[in-house]
Chains A and B, each alone.
Chain A
C-alpha cells in the first residue's frame, strides 16, 4: 500500500493510525525518515549519531506485530530521536563533549528502555550543548545545529538537536532534557511542543547529570496529543532513581478534551517587563486573549523573585555540575589526554582538552561557590532564595490553576549573537523558575514574527498537574492553525 501523505509529515498519532489501517508499515516510515535525514540533516545538523541497523530491526519487529494485529500500543513503530545526554546501551553517548566522544554505555536510560519496550524505533542521537550547558547548541563540541525556520539562526538549547529534528521533520518526536529551560526554549525557537514535567515525574536514571536537583527529561513533539502520548509512556516511579515519585500516572491522552472553561489562568507581571521583544509580547498577549475567548478566566499575578531565580540558577546548577563532572578524569572511561607526567597532570590535561569553554566556566564557578569560605555566601544562600522562588509559585497557584507567559524574551537569535556568557544566560529568565520549583511547564507554538520565526507560549501548572496543563495547551492548539505552517528549510 502507498501512503497518501509523506509519513515524515505526520504526527505520531496520525502515523500509528495509518500503521493500524495497514496503509504504511513502520519500516517504510523508518526508511522515509532516514531518506529525509540524508537529504536535510547536512543543513540542519540535528543528529550526532544515526542508528540505522537497530532502527530497521526494531521497525521490522513492529511490522510483524501490526501484521499480526497485535501492536504494543500507541508508540509501536514510531521513529523517534534521543538527545545524546541519554544513555543508550551499546551506542556511543557523547553528551556533546569530546571527553565522552567514544563512551559506549553498557546500559539504557530508563526512558530509553521504556520507549523501546513500547515499540518505539530509535533513529539516532541528537546534538546538544556540551553537557546540556547552553541555550543555542553552539556549545556542542562537534558542530552547531541550525534552526529549521532560518538556518542562520540557532535552534535554541541545550536540546537544540532534538527540537530541530522534530521541527525539520527528521523525527516523529524526540526526547530532550530541561535544567534551566533546555526543552521549552528550543521548542519555542523551533516551533514545536516541548514539555518539562514535574521533578520526579520521569526517572533520571541514565540521564547524564548536569545539575541533579534541576535536571528533567521531557518530550519534544509536533503537537500536544503526541506530547501526552510520549509523557504517558515514560512517566512513573523508577526503583533506580530515589528522586522519582511514586504517583499514579494518569491517562494523559484520554484527558486532553474538556477545554479551559472554568479554569483561571494567571499572567505573571514580571514576565512582561523590559527585555521582552514586542513581537513576542504581542503574540503571547493574543494567545492569552484566545484562551479567554475559549472560556478561561484571566488574572494578573506576581512572581516577585523572578529575576533572583536566574541568579540562584547560576549558582545551584554550576555547583552541582562541578560535582557531577568530577568523574571525567581519564581513568575509567572517556578521553585521556596523552603526555601526562603523573596522575594529576594527566587528569588536569584530560579535563582541559576534553571540556569546552562553557563547561570549564561552570565547573570553575561551581567549584568556587562550594569552596571553603564561600559555601554560605553562594550555595547556601542560593538554596534559600530558591525557597522564596518556590513560595512565589505556591502563592500564585493558590489563586490560579495555570500560569501563561512567554517561553523566551525573543525568538531565535543568530549564530554568534550571544558570545557574552551572561547575555546567553539571561535568555533563560522565564524558564529557570519552573526548574527551580520543579513545576510542570510547556511551550506551544503561538505565532510567528514578521521574519517568520516561531514564537512560544509557556504554560505552567501545579506539581503533578500535567493533565490540566496538556488539556489547556491542547484547547489552545486546536483553536489555531499555527501547525499548518511548516519550515521550508530554504
Chain B
C-alpha cells in the first residue's frame, strides 16, 4: 500500500504540484493499479535475463562529423521566456 507521504515524495521527484485532494485520489488510484501489478510477484524470475530491447542490437555508432546547428533564433523560438540570446528561468532555490 502506497502511503500519502510516498505520494508526496514521488510528486516532488516528478515536479508535479498536487492539491491534497489530488494527492489522495492519486494515492487511491495508484494503490489499485499497483495491486493489479503485484500479480507479477507470483512468477519466479530467478535467473531470467531482463529484456531492455525487443530487437537485440549492439554497437550502433556515428562518425565524429559535424552536422548543421539550429540558427540561434530557431533554437530560442519556442522559449516561454528569454533574455536576448539566453533562455530565462525564475530564480533557483535548491530543494
A/B contact in complex, CB under 8 angstroms = yes
Residues of A within 8 A of B (CB): 102-104, 106, 198-200, 213, 239, 242-243, 245, 305, 307-308, 311-312, 314-315, 322, 326, 329-336, 340-349, 351-352, 355, 360-361, 363-365, 367-368, 371, 378, 380-388, 390, 421-422, 425, 436-439, 463
B residues less than 8 Å from A345 (CB atoms)? 17, 90
Count of CB-CB pairs between chains A and B under 8 Å:
166
Partner of A387, one of B7, B49, B74: B49
B residues less than 8 Å from A351 (CB atoms)? 14-17
User: For the complex, is B85 an interface residue (Cβ under 8 Å from A)?
Assistant: no
Closest to B43 in A: A385
User: For the complex, is B66 an interface residue (Cβ under 8 Å from A)?
Assistant: no
A387 touches B33 (CB 8 A): no
B16 touches A331 (CB 8 A): no
A333 touches B93 (CB 8 A): no
Closest to B48 in A: A384
Q: How far is the CA of A243 from the CA of B59 in the complex (A)?
A: 10
A364 touches B16 (CB 8 A): yes
Q: How large is the interface on B (under 10, 10 to 19, 20 to 34, 35 or more residues)?
A: 35 or more
- 27 of the cross-chain contacts (CB-CB < 8 Å) are A103-B78, A199-B53, A308-B40, A308-B43, A311-B37, A315-B37, A329-B15, A330-B80, A333-B78, A340-B90, A346-B90, A348-B16, A351-B17, A355-B16, A360-B26, A363-B16, A364-B7, A367-B14, A380-B50, A381-B41, A383-B51, A385-B45, A385-B48, A386-B51, A388-B48, A390-B54, A421-B29
Q: How far is the CA of A140 from the CA of B14 in the complex (A)?
A: 21
User: For the complex, is B83 an interface residue (Cβ under 8 Å from A)?
Assistant: no
Residues of B within 8 A of A (CB): 2, 6-7, 9-11, 13-18, 26, 29-30, 32-34, 36-37, 39-41, 43, 45, 48-55, 57, 60, 62, 70, 74, 77-81, 87, 89-93, 95
A364 touches B50 (CB 8 A): no
B77 touches A104 (CB 8 A): yes
Chain A binding surface, main DSSP class: helix
B54 touches A438 (CB 8 A): yes
Closest to B80 in A: A336
Closest CB-CB distance, A248 to chain B, in whole Å? 15
Partner of B30, one of A312, A334, A340, A361: A361
Closest CB-CB distance, B81 to chain A, in whole Å? 7
